[in-house]
C-alpha cells in the first residue's frame, strides 16, 4: 500500500513561512509529528497516511546528517556540500519517499516549513524559494538529485555523482525540465560531465557546461537522445563536452562509427544574416519551448523550428509562413521580444 505524505497547500505554506521568518528560527517551537497544522492535508484515497513515527524519522535522519556537517553554526562550503550529497542519497533511499507522492511540491513544502525549517534556514537562510515547493526547495532538490543520479545498488560507487558534480552542473541539469525530467539523459549527462571535468579540469567546466547544455537540448529536439544505446549516448555526450572519446569509453572503436552517423559536432559560431548560428539556435529553442507551453505549434511551424535547431536555415515557403504566423501570435501574448527578433532574421 502506498504511504500517503502530508501536503501543505501553497496559500497555507506562504502564511506559515511568513510567520516563521518573522519570528525567527530561535522562536520556532519545534516539530511535533503528532500535532500537525490544521492546513496540512492527505489525499483521501489510494493509500495509508504516514505514521508519526516515520515522519519523525524523516526529520531526525536529515538532522543527523546536518549535525555531522556544521549544523548550529555557519557551515563551511565543504560541509554544506557534504550535507547536500549525503542528504540527497539518504532521501532518495527512503522507502516512504519512493512513490509518486514525493513528486508533489506541497509535500516538500510541508517538510521544509513544518518538519525541518530550522535545517532549511541553516542551509539557505530566509530565501522563500528554499522553503516553498519546487526545484529550489532545500530538500526537494536533494531528493531529485538522489533519484536522478543514483547509479544503482549494483554499483560500487552508487552515489559517487552526488559528490563529483558541481553545484552549477546540478542546477544546469535538474532545473531544465527537458533534461531533469528525463532520467536516462540526466544520468548520461552527469557521467559525461565527470569525464569532461577530469579532462578539462573543474575550473573550465562552467562555461563549457552551459554551451554543452544548449547543444544537448537542441540535439534532443531533433532526435530523442535517450533512445540511443548507452554506449552511443556516451559518445555523443563526450563529443559535445569536447572530451576525447577514445580515452573515456571502452570499445570506442566500435561505437564511434555508429555515433558518427548522428551529427555531434560542436556548435560553431558561423553567422546567418548577421547573427551567430549559436544565438539563432538558442532563440529558436526558447521560441519552441514557449510555443509548446502555450499550445501554439502547428505541424509546419514545428517543422520550421526543428530545421533551425538542426542548423538548416533554408525553409520552405510553407514553413516560413507558419513560422511568421507563430511569431506574430507570440508577439500578441507579449513574450520573447529579443528571441522573436533573432528568429525573424530567417525572413530577411
pTM: 0.73
Residues of the chain above pLDDT 90, percent:
55
b/e map 31-55, b = 16+ CB within 10 Å: bebeebeeeeebeeeeeeebeeebb
Q: Name the least confident of 5-9, 17-21, 324-328.
A: 324-328
What was the pLDDT predicted at 254?
33
Query: What are the residues whose beta carbons fall under 8 Å from the beta carbon of 96, sequence distance 6 or more?
Result: 3, 5, 50, 54, 58
Secondary structure of residue 272 in the 3-state scheme: strand
Confidence of residue 260 (pLDDT cuts 50, 70, 90): very low
On average, the pLDDT of the chain sits at: 87
Domain borders along the chain are 3-148, 165-260, 272-347
What was the pLDDT predicted at 258?
39
Amino acid at each position: 500500500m502506498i504511504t500517503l505524505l502530508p501536503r501543505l497547500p501553497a496559500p497555507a505554506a506562504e502564511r506559515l513561512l511568513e510567520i516563521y521568518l518573522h519570528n525567527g528560527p530561535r522562536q520556532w517551537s519545534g516539530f511535533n509529528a503528532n500535532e500537525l497544522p490544521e492546513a496540512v492535508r492527505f489525499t483521501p484515497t489510494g493509500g495509508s497516511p504516514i505514521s508519526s513515527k516515520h515522519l519523525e524519522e524523516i526529520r531526525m535522519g536529515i538532522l543527523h546528517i546536518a549535525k555531522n556537517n556544521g549544523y548550529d553554526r555557519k557551515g563551511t562550503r565543504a560541509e554544506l556540500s557534504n550535507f547536500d550529497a549525503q542528504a540527497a542519497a539518504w532521501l532518495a533511499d527512503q522507502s516512504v519517499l519512493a512513490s509518486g507522492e514525493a513528486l508533489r511540491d506541497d509535500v516538500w513544502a510541508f517538510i521544509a516549513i513544518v518538519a525541518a525549517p530550522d535545517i532549511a534556514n541553516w542551509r539557505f537562510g530566509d530565501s522563500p524559494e528554499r522553503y516553498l515547493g519546487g526545484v529550489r526547495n532545500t530538500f526537494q532538490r536533494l531528493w531529485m538529485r538522489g533519484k536522478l543520479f543514483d547509479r544503482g545498488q549494483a554499483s560500487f560507487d552508487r552515489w559517487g555523482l552526488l559528490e563529483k558534480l558541481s553545484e552549477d552542473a546540478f542546477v544546469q541539469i535538474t532545473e531544465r525540465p527537458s533534461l531533469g525530467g528525463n532520467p536516462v539523459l540526466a544520468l548520461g549527462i552527469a557521467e559525461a560531465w565527470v569525464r569532461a571535468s577530469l579532462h578539462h579540469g573543474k575550473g573550465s567546466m562552467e562555461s563549457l557546461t552551459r554551451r554543452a547544455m544548449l547543444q544537448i537540448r537542441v540535439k534532443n529536439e531533433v532526435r530523442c537522445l535517450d533512445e540511443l544505446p548507452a554506449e552511443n549516448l556516451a559518445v555523443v555526450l563526450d563529443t559535445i563536452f569536447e572530451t576525447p572519446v577514445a580515452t573515456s569509453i571502452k570499445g570506442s572503436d566500435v561505437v564511434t562509427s555508429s555515433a558518427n552517423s548522428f551529427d555531434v559536432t560542436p556548435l560553431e559560431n558561423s553567422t546567418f544574416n548577421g547573427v551567430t548560428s549559436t544565438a539563432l539556435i538558442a532563440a529558436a529553442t526558447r521560441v519552441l519551448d514557449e510555443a509548446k507551453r502555450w499550445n501554439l505549434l502547428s505541424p509546419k511551424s514545428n517543422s520550421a523550428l526543428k530545421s533551425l535547431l538542426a542548423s538548416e536555415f533554408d525553409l520552405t515557403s510553407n514553413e516560413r509562413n507558419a513560422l511568421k504566423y507563430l511569431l506574430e501570435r507570440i508577439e500578441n501574448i507579449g513574450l520573447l521580444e529579443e528571441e522573436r527578433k533573432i528568429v525573424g532574421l530567417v525572413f530577411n
